[in-house]
Structure 1
Amino acid sequence: MIVRRNLKFKLILFYTWKQLLYYILLSTTVFILHEYYQVVFFDIPSYTIAALGTAVAIFLGFKNDHAYDRWWEARKIWGLMVNYSRAWTRQVITMIIPQSPEEETEVQRLHTIMVYRHIAFVNALRVFLRRRLPYNPDQKELFQDENTYRDAQPFLDRSEYDTFKNKDNPPNFLLQKQGEDLKMAYQRGWLSDYRFVKMEETLVDFNDIQGMSERIKNTPLPRQYTFFSRAFVIIHCTLLPMVFISELGWKTIPISVIVSFVFLSLDLIGERTEDPFENRLEDTPMTSLSTTIETNLREQLNEDKSSFPEKYKIENGIVF
């Protein structure tokens, strides 16, 4: 997620230089052909291109509005993940109660296992949602390169991790294991009927969070919006210098490029906002949220703060 208020120009150029180069060359070519070779381009009235620009702007606004809704929904979902994670840890610690002093050590060990397994679940879900974009040093894109299931390994025992990493849906496997431990605690008398039901409801909440995240991940914004918005922007910006040249002369070049850049930026913002789980710099900061969850939960276990992970740092105005 980009948190810097002012974007660096080199970052903007990273994603737009090819299109800007096209518009600069197009405007320059139109100017040269018109001024030195008296080539007559389409005699299109200026109000026509203004009407087309208005239509394109409305279309882009509609697309960007829906793209932002998807991004904001993803952020709210992971906000729920933070809240429910704290609640789950509190329930594990306060609701799973030993029946005798001899069982206290065993119950405390179960507390740690279940809380740690939840931290593994959070990390696993983050990787599961980003798994379609693995790190590729040859791919010219800006995203976080450390995105593997190894982040869950410190919180699971060896045999459970070996089983977990080979599952088709690793996060769901961990929720299943949590349910099995709840069943065991109930059978041992450490949970009453009511407490068992309440904790199972919290596990269902985590299922809902995963399902809502998968819905956003697996159901993209209808591709006709992306295709036609890009096509309309290209058509509009290609016609601009041909309409301006007879009235503006050499001024056609800077004005056409500036107007084209505005429409290009609007289209690019929507395109890169609509999918918030692609492990790109504009996406939901799941790594940062995972670190926050781990710190909060281990603090609830009264662990030594010196062993907590470092607070996630903002680098170059970006939080992953």
Structure 2
Amino acid sequence: MILWTRGETIIYLFYAGIITVLYKVFGFTFLNVPWTPVALIGTAVAFMVGFQNNSAYGRIWEARMIWGAIVNTSRTWGMKVQDMVNNDHKSPPIPKEELKEEKRILIYRHIAWMTALRYSMRQRKSWETQHTSKTNREWRKMIHIPEEVSTLDDNLKCYLSDEERHYVMSKSNKQTAVLYLQSAHIRKLKKVGLIWEFAFLELENVLETLFTHQGKSERIKNFPYPRQYASLSLYLTRVFAILLPFGLIPEFAEIGKSMTGSFYMIGNYFIWVAVPFCAVVSWAFHTMERMARVGENPFEGNPNDVPISTISRSIEINLREMLDEDLENIPSQFPEDKNVQM
């Protein structure tokens, strides 16, 4: 946290130091703002920043709950595909290898849906600007999210046929296109007798649930935290940081004067304690406000965002293990860089 905000901390120390020098050394005692209005602004900032942090945390937590629900629904999809796609109502029955291939296609297409969804969530929006700050750029040089390393088209080659891949890539909402392919496929399986009527309805219900999860995730991605609240918190925090030394330094000067009778040396230099004190208070308010700004967009790809790439890969590993694939053919989990999940 200290390294993350080191630039602003240095600015606050330097700024408070300049005001103290002007007040103490050059005798600019008119640099004095009554403490009451400064405290009132600080109270307003605390309320606004607290509200912003609560709202940002709510967005992060909701995003994590959505992707947790995707985990559960994905496992449900895998289970129902394994049990409901069978030869019980097929006459004559198809070979086991063909049946297994139909299941594999459905499972792989679901993995393609998760892949398309996470790539969509990582697309940069105009209001996602946290990657432009210096310390965040440093983080992004150290950690590399998978969606920035490879393309969606290359990833879909692992899960879809060329025809389906071209179809999906031609659509603006690619994850929706994948679910349409799933629905068409299970309808075809029902028609040939590999899925009976009730099983078809059950699988369609799972697809409907996936659409719901997708829509909730897209809602958070496509609707930013209201700018009027975010901008007001930012401006008030900066105004408070600017006014704080003008209110605190005279207070520390008065305390120092009251101490000179008993502790002359301490009292004479006590005003300089205001420099780190101002910096600490300004740093605390600034850091809380910045934490809220970073948390507003939980899919931007910052270190504390929802690790949707890791979640998707975990689901893929689970589903492919249930297909009894060789472990050497199943991709490994994305590595953690600097103890950060992707």
Q: CA deviation at 1:156?
A: 1.1
**TM-score, length-normalised on structure 1?**
0.90
Instruction: Tell me how far apart the structure 1 counterparts of residues 311 and 49 of structure 2 sit (CA, whole Å).
Output: 31
- For 1:183, the equivalent position in structure 2 comes to 187
Letter in 1 for 2:47: I
Q: CA deviation at 1:133?
A: 6.5
Instruction: Tell me how far apart the structure 1 counterparts of residues 124 and 292 of structure 2 sit (CA, whole Å).
Output: 20
Determine which of 64, 70, 82 is the counterpart of 1:81: 70
- For 1:317, the equivalent position in structure 2 comes to 339
Change (3 A) 1:133 1:58: closer
Letter in 1 for 2:118: R
- For 2:106, the equivalent position in structure 1 comes to 114
How many residues align? The count is 306
Instruction: Tell me how far apart the structure 2 counterparts of residues 22 and 259 of structure 1 sit (CA, whole Å).
Output: 13
Instruction: Tell me how far apart the structure 2 counterparts of residues 271 and 41 of structure 1 sit (CA, whole Å).
Output: 36
CA RMSD of aligned residues (A): 1.9
- For 2:222, the equivalent position in structure 1 comes to 218
Instruction: Tell me how far apart the structure 2 counterparts of residues 67 and 56 of structure 1 sit (CA, whole Å).
Output: 16
Q: Is the 8 A contact 1:41 1:242 kept in 2?
A: no
Gaps of 5+ in 1: 1-6
**TM-score, length-normalised on structure 2?**
0.84
Q: Is the 8 A contact 1:119 1:152 kept in 2?
A: no
Determine which of 194, 208, 211 is the counterpart of 1:207: 211
Q: Which has the larger radius of gyration?
A: 2
Letter in 2 for 1:28: G
- For 2:61, the equivalent position in structure 1 comes to 72
Determine which of 143, 157, 162 is the counterpart of 1:158: 162
Instruction: Tell me how far apart the structure 1 counterparts of residues 20 and 175 of structure 2 sit (CA, whole Å).
Output: 59
Which whole-Å deviations, capped at 9, do the CAs of 1:131-156 have from their partners, x for residues lacking one?
Answer: 1279xxx9652343431303232111
Gaps of 5+ in 2: 253-270
Q: CA deviation at 1:28?
A: 1.6
- For 2:317, the equivalent position in structure 1 comes to 295
- 1:62 aligns to 2:51 (yes or no): yes
The 5 A counterparts of 1:193-272 are: 193-248=197-252, 249-272=271-294
Instruction: Tell me how far apart the structure 2 counterparts of residues 23 and 41 of structure 1 sit (CA, whole Å).
Output: 21
Instruction: Tell me how far apart the structure 2 counterparts of residues 191 and 41 of structure 1 sit (CA, whole Å).
Output: 84
Instruction: Tell me how far apart the structure 2 counterparts of residues 231 and 45 of structure 1 sit (CA, whole Å).
Output: 20
Which whole-Å deviations, capped at 9, do the CAs of 1:110-129 have from their partners, x for residues lacking one?
Answer: 11011001111111100011
Q: Is the 8 A contact 2:121 2:299 kept in 1?
A: yes
- For 1:306, the equivalent position in structure 2 comes to 328
- For 1:146, the equivalent position in structure 2 comes to 146
Q: CA deviation at 1:67?
A: 0.8
Q: CA deviation at 1:161?
A: 1.6
Change (3 A) 1:41 1:198: farther
The 5 A counterparts of 1:129-140 are: 129-132=121-124
Q: CA deviation at 1:46?
A: 2.4
Q: Is the 8 A contact 2:48 2:233 kept in 1?
A: yes
Q: Is the 8 A contact 2:241 2:282 kept in 1?
A: yes
Q: Is the 8 A contact 1:64 1:270 kept in 2?
A: yes
Which whole-Å deviations, capped at 9, do the CAs of 1:183-240 have from their partners, x for residues lacking one?
Answer: 1001101112111111001001111111000100111111111101011111111111
Q: Is the 8 A contact 1:53 1:236 kept in 2?
A: yes
Letter in 2 for 1:67: A
Instruction: Tell me how far apart the structure 1 counterparts of residues 113 and 122 of structure 2 sit (CA, whole Å).
Output: 14
Q: CA deviation at 1:251?
A: 1.6
Letter in 2 for 1:119: I
Q: Which moved more, 1:38-47 or 1:217-226?
A: 38-47
Letter in 1 for 2:109: R
The 5 A counterparts of 1:28-43 are: 28-43=17-32
- 1:90 aligns to 2:82 (yes or no): no
- For 1:3, the equivalent position in structure 2 comes to none
Instruction: Tell me how far apart the structure 1 counterparts of residues 334 and 146 of structure 2 sit (CA, whole Å).
Output: 13
Question: Could you say what secondary structure the match of 1:32 adopts?
Answer: helix
Instruction: Tell me how far apart the structure 1 counterparts of residues 330 and 315 of structure 2 sit (CA, whole Å).
Output: 11
Instruction: Tell me how far apart the structure 2 counterparts of residues 85 and 63 of structure 1 sit (CA, whole Å).
Output: 33
Letter in 2 for 1:308: I
Q: CA deviation at 1:245?
A: 1.6
Letter in 2 for 1:86: R
Change (3 A) 1:305 1:41: farther
Q: Is the 8 A contact 1:164 1:173 kept in 2?
A: yes
